[in-house]
C-alpha cells in the first residue's frame, strides 16, 4: 500500500502554518533517499553542495520539489537569479498554480530570473519557475513563504471593483490568503505531475462546500438598530456573531442576553475602542471588558480588535486573558484560520480572518443598492468555487439603515443547503476539533484505504489528477470507481484592470484624510 504524504526538509513556521491549515499529511524529511521518500517535497532549507546530487537524482527519477530561487539555481542547470529589494506584487497567469488566486501583494524582498516562466512580477518579468527535470518537476517561488506569512505590516489598500472609485480599507499589506493558495496550488500541481493524489482534511463539517458568518461589531449601536439587525437575520434562519463594546453598550447587556437565548453568539469587541501599542493598556482594556461580560453571565472566547488592528501586544493581552480566537483584518483577511507567527513561536490565540469590506467602505466608494449586492454576489461566487469561507462583517446602524440591501445579501446564503450557516465562535471550535482529527490514507490499485473514524461527519478531500471527490472520514476501503468525482475547476479571477488597485494605493492616504475630515465636519 502506498502512503500519500508530502515531505518538508525543515520545520519552518510559514510552511507549517499552510500544512496545518490544509491538514495535509506531511513529515519532516531530513534522511537519505529511499523507497519510502515522499514523492513531493518542500525543500525549504538551503541545499548544501553534497546534498544536490541526491535531490537532483530523486527529481529526475520522478519526484517533485517546491522550493525557492537559490535552491533552484543549484538544481536546474544554468538557472540564474537576482535579488530584488522590493517585490511589490505577483500578477497571476492562467496556470494551475494560480487557480483562484488574484494579485499576490507582498511588498517584500524577493528574487527575479529571466528563466522564470509563470505569472508576472510587478516589473513585468516572469515570476515563478515551473519546469521539468528528467521525469520530475521543480517549482521555484520568488519570495520566502515564512517571511510573507509572518509579516505584521498594515496599510491602506484598494479592493477591486469595476468603477474608478474603488473601496479601500486599512488591512494587512501581504494578502496571506493569496500566498497560501499559491503555495497549496504548487503542492497540488506537484502531486498531479508525479501521479499522486493530493489528500487533505476538508475545511468544513457535514460535507458543506463553504461556511457563512455574519459578524456584527456592536460598536456604538443602539437598541432599535440591534433589534432590526437581529430580526432580519432571524428571517433568513441565520445566527449572528456579535462583538460587544462593553463601555458603550454596558447598558445593553440584557438585550445581548436575549439574543444569546435565541441562539446568537455574543463575544467581546473592546472596552475602549482602540488597540494600544503597549501591553499594559491592551491588557487593561481587554480585562475590563471581559470582566463586565463575565459578570453579566457571558463566557466570551473570542475578541475582535477595534478597526481590525492587530499588534503583538494586543495578541499578548488576549493570550494572557485566555481568549481563544481573534479576528483582525490588519493581520489577515480572506484566509483560513491560523495561529499568528511570533518569531520562532506561534500565538495561542487563533486568528479567524474575515473579508474586510463592510457597507461603510463600499458606500464610501459610492456602491449602493444592487451594485452593492453584486459586490457580495461576486465575492461569494469566487470564494465558493475556491472552497473558501464567506465571512463578512458590518455594524447594526448600517444594516438598520439599509434593510432591503441586507435582505438581498442574506437571501443569497441563508437557505443554501451546501453552505454551513454558522458563527465565528462555532467555526473556531470546529477548527480546533478539525486540528485534532487523525487519519491515515493509503492507495492500492483501484482503491483508497482510510484508517481513522469519528462520530462527527467530516470529509477527506482528494484531488486525483483533474478530478476531485470528498470521502467520508471513516475506516474503510473506497473503490475509486464508486466515488462521486467531479472535475477540478480552475478559476482565474484576475483581470488586468485589477492592477488599478496598485496605482490607486498611492492616493488612498489623501482620500482617507479627506474622508475623515469630512466626517468630523459633518458631525
Ligand atoms: Zn469597532
| Residue 128 in grid coordinates | 515563478
DSSP codes joined into one string, 316-330? HHHHHTT--EE--TT
pLDDT digits (tens, 9 = 90+) for 330-382: 999 999 999 999 998 999 999 999 999 999 999 999 998 999 999 999 999 99
Q: What angle do CA 94, 187, 116 make, to 5 degrees?
A: 50
DSSP annotation of 58 reads H
Distance 269 CA to ligand 1 centre (A): 7
Distance 414 CA to ligand 1 centre (A): 25
Distance 306 CA to ligand 1 centre (A): 5
Distance 168 CA to ligand 1 centre (A): 17
- Helix, coil or strand: residue 251: helix
For the chain, which residues make up each domain, given as ranges?
2-201, 210-431, 437-487
pLDDT digits (tens, 9 = 90+) for 424-479: 999 999 999 999 999 989 998 899 999 987 767 889 999 999 999 999 999 999 99
User: Of the candidates 424, 205, 391, which has an alpha carbon nearest to the alpha carbon of residue 301?
Assistant: 424
What per-residue confidence (pLDDT) applies to 2? 78
Tally Cβ neighbours within 10 Å of residue 521: 7
User: Rounded CA gap, 116 and 186, in Å?
Assistant: 15
* Domain 210-431 CATH class label: alpha beta
Distant-in-sequence, close-in-space partners of 343: CB < 8 Å, separation ≥ 6: 150
**Average of per-residue pLDDT values in the chain:** 95
Q: What distance lies between CA 144 and its chain's CA centroid? A: 18
Distance 434 CA to ligand 1 centre (A): 30
Element (H, E) at 414: helix 403-414
| Residue 18 in grid coordinates | 499552510
Distance 327 CA to ligand 1 centre (A): 12
End-to-end CA distance of the chain: 70
φ and ψ at 228, to 5 degrees? -65, -40
Strands of 476-479's sheet, edge to edge?
2-3, 440-444, 447-451, 476-479
pLDDT digits (tens, 9 = 90+) for 396-418: 999 999 999 999 999 999 989 99
pLDDT digits (tens, 9 = 90+) for 121-169: 987 799 999 999 999 999 999 999 999 999 999 999 999 998 888 999 9
Distance 245 CA to ligand 1 centre (A): 8
Distance 240 CA to ligand 1 centre (A): 16
pLDDT at 291 over 90: yes
DSSP annotation of 489 reads P
User: Rounded CA gap, 55 and 58, in Å?
Assistant: 5
What per-residue confidence (pLDDT) applies to 35? 82
Furthest CA-CA distance within the chain: 72
Distance 216 CA to ligand 1 centre (A): 9
Distance 507 CA to ligand 1 centre (A): 25
Share of the chain above pLDDT 70, in %: 99
Distance 330 CA to ligand 1 centre (A): 13
Distance 340 CA to ligand 1 centre (A): 21
Q: 394 near 228, Cβ under 8 Å?
A: no
Distance 484 CA to ligand 1 centre (A): 44
pLDDT digits (tens, 9 = 90+) for 168-181: 999 999 999 999 99
Distance 197 CA to ligand 1 centre (A): 44
- Tell me the average pLDDT across 19-23: 97
User: Rounded CA gap, 155 and 161, in Å?
Assistant: 19
Distance 309 CA to ligand 1 centre (A): 10
What per-residue confidence (pLDDT) applies to 521? 63
User: Rounded CA gap, 246 and 296, in Å?
Assistant: 11
Distance 105 CA to ligand 1 centre (A): 26
pLDDT digits (tens, 9 = 90+) for 53-106: 999 999 999 999 999 999 999 999 999 999 999 999 999 999 999 999 999 999
* Domain 2-201 CATH class label: alpha beta
pLDDT digits (tens, 9 = 90+) for 356-369: 999 999 999 999 89
Distance 218 CA to ligand 1 centre (A): 7
Distance 355 CA to ligand 1 centre (A): 15
What per-residue confidence (pLDDT) applies to 289? 98
Confidence of residue 523 (pLDDT cuts 50, 70, 90): very low
Distance 334 CA to ligand 1 centre (A): 19
User: Rounded CA gap, 138 and 55, in Å?
Assistant: 11
What per-residue confidence (pLDDT) applies to 522? 54
Q: How many CA atoms lie within 13 A of 49 on its CB side?
A: 0
pLDDT at 239 over 80: yes
| Residue 330 in grid coordinates | 490588519
Amino acid at each position: 500500500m502506498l502512503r500519500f504524504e508530502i515531505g518538508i526538509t525543515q520545520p519552518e513556521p510559514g510552511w507549517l502554518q499552510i500544512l496545518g491549515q490544509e491538514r495535509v499529511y506531511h513529515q519532516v524529511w531530513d534522511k537519505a533517499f529511499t523507497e519510502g521518500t515522499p514523492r513531493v517535497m518542500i525543500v525549504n532549507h538551503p541545499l548544501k553542495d553534497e546534498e544536490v546530487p541526491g535531490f537532483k537524482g530523486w527529481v529526475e527519477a520522478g519526484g517533485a520539489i517546491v522550493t525557492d530561487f537559490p535552491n533552484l539555481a543549484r538544481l536546474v542547470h544554468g538557472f540564474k537569479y537576482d535579488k530584488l529589494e522590493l517585490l511589490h506584487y505577483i500578477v497571476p497567469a492562467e496556470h494551475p498554480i494560480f487557480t483562484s488566486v488574484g494579485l499576490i501583494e507582498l511588498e517584500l524582498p524577493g528574487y527575479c530570473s529571466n528563466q522564470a516562466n509563470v505569472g508576472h512580477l510587478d516589473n513585468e518579468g516572469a515570476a515563478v519557475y515551473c519546469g521539468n527535470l528528467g521525469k520530475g518537476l521543480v517549482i521555484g517561488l520568488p519570495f520566502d513563504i515564512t517571511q510573507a506569512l509572518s509579516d505584521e505590516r498594515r496599510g491602506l489598500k484598494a479592493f477591486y471593483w469595476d468603477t474608478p472609485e474603488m473601496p479601500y480599507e486599512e488591512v494587512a499589506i501581504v494578502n496571506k490568503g493569496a500566498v497560501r493558495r499559491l503555495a497549496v496550488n504548487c503542492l497540488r500541481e506537484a502531486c498531479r505531475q508525479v501521479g499522486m493524489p493530493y489528500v487533505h482534511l476538508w475545511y468544513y463539517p457535514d460535507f458543506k462546500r463553504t461556511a457563512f458568518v455574519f459578524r456584527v461589531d456592536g460598536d456604538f449601536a443602539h437598541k432599535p438598530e440591534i433589534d432590526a439587525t437581529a430580526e432580519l437575520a432571524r428571517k433568513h434562519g441565520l445566527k449572528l456573531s456579535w462583538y460587544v463594546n462593553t463601555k458603550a453598550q454596558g447598558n445593553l447587556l440584557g438585550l445581548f442576553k436575549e439574543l444569546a437565548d435565541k441562539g446568537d453568539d455574543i463575544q467581546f469587541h473592546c472596552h475602549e475602542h482602540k488597540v494600544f501599542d503597549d501591553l499594559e493598556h491592551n491588557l487593561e482594556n481587554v480585562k475590563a471588558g471581559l470582566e463586565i461580560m463575565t459578570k453579566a453571565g457571558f463566557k466570551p472566547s473570542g475578541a475582535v480588535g477595534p478597526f481590525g488592528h492587530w499588534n503583538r501586544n494586543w495578541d499578548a493581552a488576549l493570550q494572557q486573558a485566555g481568549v481563544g480566537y481573534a479576528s483582525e483584518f490588519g493581520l489577515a483577511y480572506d484566509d483560513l484560520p491560523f495561529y499568528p507567527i511570533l518569531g520562532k513561536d506561534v500565538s495561542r490565540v487563533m486568528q479567524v480572518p474575515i473579508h474586510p469590506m463592510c457597507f461603510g467602505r463600499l458606500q464610501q466608494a459610492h456602491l449602493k443598492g444592487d451594485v452593492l449586492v453584486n459586490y457580495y454576489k461576486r465575492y461569494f461566487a469566487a470564494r465558493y468555487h475556491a472552497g473558501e469561507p464567506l465571512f463578512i462583517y458590518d455594524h447594526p446602524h448600517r444594516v438598520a439603515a439599509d434593510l432591503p440591501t441586507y435582505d438581498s445579501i442574506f437571501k443569497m446564503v441563508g437557505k443554501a443547503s451546501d453552505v454551513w450557516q454558522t458563527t465565528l465562535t462555532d467555526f473556531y471550535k470546529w477548527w480546533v476539533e478539525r486540528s485534532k482529527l487523525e487519519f491515515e490514507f493509503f492507495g492500492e490499485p483501484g482503491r483508497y484505504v482510510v484508517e481513522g473514524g469519528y462520530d462527527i461527519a467530516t470529509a477527506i478531500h482528494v484531488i486525483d489528477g483533474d478530478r476531485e471527490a470528498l470521502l467520508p472520514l471513516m475506516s474503510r476501503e473506497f473503490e475509486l470507481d464508486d466515488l462521486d468525482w467531479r472535475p477540478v475547476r480552475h478559476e482565474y479571477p484576475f483581470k488586468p484592470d485589477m492592477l488599478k488597485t496598485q496605482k490607486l494605493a498611492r492616493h488612498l492616504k489623501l482620500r482617507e484624510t479627506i474622508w475623515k475630515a469630512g466626517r468630523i465636519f459633518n458631525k
